[in-house]
Amino acid sequence: MKPYPGMLLDFTLADAPLGAITPASQHVNVLINGGVLSSRGSVEYSPKVTNVNVREANIDGVSVTYVHLAQTSNAEKRRATEAGKTVEHENNRPSVNVDLRTMKIRSSRLSFKNNDADPPYELFVSDTDMTVANLSNHVTHGRARLDLRGKFMVVERPIFTGLSCLRAKVLNSIQISA
pLDDT one-digit tens code per residue, 113-164: 999 889 999 999 999 999 999 988 888 888 889 999 888 887 544 444 333 3
Q: Is residue 90 part of a domain?
A: yes
Of all residues in the chain, the percent with pLDDT exceeding 90 is 43
For residue 176, tell me if it sits in a domain: no
The total of structural domains in the chain comes to 1
The answer to the question of residue 38 being in a domain is yes
> Rounded CA gap, 31 and 28, in Å?
9
Is position 177 within any domain? no
CA 116 to CA 67: how far, in whole Å?
9
- Report pLDDT for 43: 96
What is the domain range of residue 74?
7-153
Cα end-to-end span (Å), the chain: 51
* Domain-embedded: residue 103: yes
**pTM over 0.85, yes/no:** no
Question: Is 161 within a domain?
Answer: no
